[in-house]
């Protein structure tokens, strides 16, 4: 991975640039609400293991569970809609009618039905990601030219073989892009859901520090949340690198 | 043996029925190559798709070795114009694809694949992806897949058309070399008169609007590099060309 070094350097450069910008602003305004990054990072090193790590782990688990659920249910639906036009005609209206509903507005209902604990948070992430997965998988499969199947059709391939050798690899790039886009939404929604009915999660930690007017801890939480996002996006990039080698 | 009898294929277009093939009959004896030649729009590709089991909606009968077409029960090697390579599979995986679908053990294929790659001049490219290869190399990968499978019949849709003239002649020789070992019953669609004369022991002449077989003739000039340079070959080529032109004028 010679490219690995280049990528790492680019990320470091980006981090340094943001830190410099943050520093400049903190020097300019000189307010406690924008503390200098060095103070925040020192604070972070103190509170990370004893306080933040457990919150980060909770947030990560909720995102992972929501994502697995969304892919597990969304992928088969997208597959059926993409490969069988008749199923698409039946299901597309349902998807299109429910897709634009602002899912966050359903949070009170979800809390009533699934409780204010883990499930309502995971289900919220699931609801937000699942539509993007369905649409991306369906469109990815629809975009496969008919001729791509011909060599397999003439060999009498089964549906399982068509899936393995054509449908899955051909729709994989679009699927990964959808997960990447959905991930950003999921993180911001997660933050919102974690401000209710829980004592764990990055959302809770940041809002709690805010209410205690502990700006250093609040910024430490924001930095960790940002790294959490970086970790997830990096993971998706890595999966894409190894699973879509033919695209390089 | 491939037997096509009174084959008619039509498809709906702009609200009316378009006839792609009308009452086409053609017999390709076991172990021979039949070159199908004709102007564009004469339904050459449609004919091939019916035999390959890709079009199910037709009238007439099509039999392979006396049985109705069934891609599951028989081995049909089909090479489309774009070679049918999967961009997400390496060269080795692409060559193996036919055998994998048919449930043959890849381990036993390794040796034969290596030998085929060597003969086709693509040894050492096994780990590359198709888009990293030239058109000629992609064509060779397609041929390797077809011949590794050892199909009952082989169907090729203008396999050498996208290549430059020199590569095309090279590939025709490579094909002939492999074919002479296996004698796979083959239908080869082409629009090059010389290709038809060089490769087809039988040449079927098709006309367009609607697609019909105008004439089927035996060709004694097939399969020999020496004959390719003779006056007889040129004369036959000219004659064939005139016939195709005459068909176009008659329309």
Lowest mean pLDDT among A43-47, A84-88, B202-206: A43-47
pLDDT band at B239, cuts 50/70/90? confident
Average pLDDT over residues B104-124: 86
| Termini Cα distance of chain B | 33
> What is the structure's pLDDT at B251?
55
> What is the structure's pLDDT at B12?
80
Residue A163 has pLDDT above 90, yes or no: yes
Average pLDDT over residues A22-39: 90
> Which candidate, A63, A177, A205, A180, places its Cα nearest to that of A123?
A63
Contacts of A166 in chain B (CB under 8 A): 86
* A76: closest CA of chain B, how far (Å): 21
Contacting residues for B20 by C-beta, under 8 A, at least 6 apart: B9, B10, B11, B43, B46, B210, B211
> What is the structure's pLDDT at B213?
86
Contacting residues for B236 by C-beta, under 8 A, at least 6 apart: B197, B219, B221
pLDDT band at B231, cuts 50/70/90? confident
pLDDT band at A153, cuts 50/70/90? very high
pLDDT band at B3, cuts 50/70/90? very high
- Alpha-carbon distances, residue B50 vs A151, B9, B53, B101, B210 (angstroms): 13, 9, 5, 20, 16
- d(CA B21, CA B177) in angstroms, rounded, equals 33
pLDDT tens readout for residues B178-220: 898 889 999 999 988 889 999 999 999 998 888 888 888 888 8
Across all residues in chain B, what is the average pLDDT?
Answer: 88
> What is the structure's pLDDT at A11?
87
> What is the structure's pLDDT at A139?
94
> What is the structure's pLDDT at B249?
65
Which member of B75, B88, B102 has the closest CB to residue A246?
Answer: B88
> What is the structure's pLDDT at B120?
87
pLDDT tens readout for residues B131-176: 999 988 999 999 999 999 989 999 999 888 878 888 888 889 889 9
Contact A246 B87 (CB under 8 A): yes
Residue A1 has pLDDT above 60, yes or no: no
> What is the structure's pLDDT at B156?
94
Contact B88 A154 (CB under 8 A): no
- d(CA A43, CA A56) in angstroms, rounded, equals 16
pTM, full prediction: 0.83
Contact A165 B101 (CB under 8 A): yes
Across all residues in chain A, what is the average pLDDT?
Answer: 90
**Chain B residue with minimal CA distance to A150?**
B54
pLDDT tens readout for residues B46-81: 999 999 999 989 999 999 998 998 999 999 999 988
Residue A149 has pLDDT above 90, yes or no: yes
Contacts of A144 in chain B (CB under 8 A): none
Which member of A151, A172, A246 has the closest CB to residue B80?
Answer: A151
**Chain A residue with minimal CA distance to B103?**
A157
Identify the DSSP state of A51: I
Which member of A156, A165, A170 has the closest CB to residue B71?
Answer: A156
> What is the structure's pLDDT at B103?
86
| Termini Cα distance of chain A | 13
pLDDT tens readout for residues A65-80: 999 999 999 999 999 9
Residue B90 has pLDDT above 90, yes or no: yes
Q: What are phi and psi of B16, to 5 degrees?
A: -125, 165
Which member of B86, B88, B101 has the closest CB to residue A155?
Answer: B101
> What is the structure's pLDDT at A62?
93
A143 reaches B (C-beta below 8 A):
no
Q: Where is pLDDT greater, at A248 or A173?
A: A173
- d(CA B95, CA B102) in angstroms, rounded, equals 13
pLDDT tens readout for residues A136-148: 999 999 999 998 9
Contact B80 A147 (CB under 8 A): yes
> What is the structure's pLDDT at A2?
57
Residue B250 has pLDDT above 70, yes or no: no
- d(CA A60, CA A98) in angstroms, rounded, equals 27
Contacts of B88 in chain A (CB under 8 A): 169-170, 172, 244, 246
pLDDT band at B222, cuts 50/70/90? confident
């Amino acid at each position: 991975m010679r490219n690995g070094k280049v990528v790492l350097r680019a990320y470091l450069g980006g981090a340094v640039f943001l830190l410099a910008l943050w520093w400049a602003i903190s020097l300019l305004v000189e307010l406690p609400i924008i503390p200098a990054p060095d103070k925040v990072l020192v604070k972070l090193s103190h509170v990370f293991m004893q306080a933040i790590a457990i919150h980060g782990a909770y947030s990560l688990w909720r995102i992972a569970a929501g994502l697995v659920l969304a892919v597990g249910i969304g992928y088969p639906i997208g597959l059926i809609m993409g490969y069988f036009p008749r199923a698409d005609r039946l299901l597309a209206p349902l998807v299109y009618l429910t897709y634009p509903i602002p899912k966050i507005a359903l949070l009170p209902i979800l809390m009533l039905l699934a409780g204010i604990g883990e499930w309502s948070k995971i289900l919220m992430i699931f609801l937000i990601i699942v539509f993007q997965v369905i649409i991306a998988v369906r469109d990815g499969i629809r975009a496969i030219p008919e001729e791509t199947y011909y060599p397999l059709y003439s060999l009498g391939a089964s549906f399982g073989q068509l899936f393995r050798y054509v449908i899955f690899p051909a729709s994989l790039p679009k699927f990964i892009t959808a997960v990447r886009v959905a991930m950003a939404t999921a993180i911001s929604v997660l933050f919102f859901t974690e401000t209710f009915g829980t004592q764990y999660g990055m959302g809770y930690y940041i809002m709690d520090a805010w209410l205690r007017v502990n700006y250093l801890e609040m910024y430490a939480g924001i930095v960790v949340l940002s790294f959490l996002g970086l970790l997830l996006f990096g993971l998706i990039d890595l999966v894409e690198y190894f699973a879509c080698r033919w695209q390089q | 043996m491939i037997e096509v009898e009174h084959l008619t294929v039509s498809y709906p277009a702009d609200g009316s029925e378009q006839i792609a093939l009308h009452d086409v009959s053609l017999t390709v004896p076991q172990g021979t190559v039949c070159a199908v030649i004709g102007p564009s729009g004469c339904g050459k590709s449609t004919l091939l798709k019916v035999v390959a089991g890709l079009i199910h909606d037709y009238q007439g009968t099509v039999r392979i070795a006396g049985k109705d077409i069934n891609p599951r029960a028989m081995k049909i090697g089909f090479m489309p114009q774009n070679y049918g390579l999967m961009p997400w599979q390496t060269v080795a995986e692409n060559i193996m694809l036919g055998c994998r679908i048919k449930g043959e053990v890849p381990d036993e294929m390794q040796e034969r694949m290596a030998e085929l790659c060597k003969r086709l001049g693509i040894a050492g490219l096994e780990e590359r992806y198709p888009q990293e290869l030239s058109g000629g190399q992609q064509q060779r990968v397609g041929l390797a897949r077809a011949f590794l499978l050892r199909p009952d019949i082989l169907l090729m849709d203008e396999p050498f058309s996208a290549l430059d003239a020199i590569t095309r002649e090279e590939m025709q020789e490579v094909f002939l070399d492999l074919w002479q070992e296996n004698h796979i019953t083959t239908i080869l669609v082409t629009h090059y008169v010389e290709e038809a004369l060089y490769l087809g022991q039988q040449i079927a002449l098709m006309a367009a609007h609607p697609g019909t077989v105008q004439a089927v003739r035996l060709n004694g000039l097939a399969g020999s590099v020496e004959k390719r340079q003779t006056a007889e070959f040129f004369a036959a080529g000219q004659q064939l060309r005139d016939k195709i032109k005459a068909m176009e004028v008659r329309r």
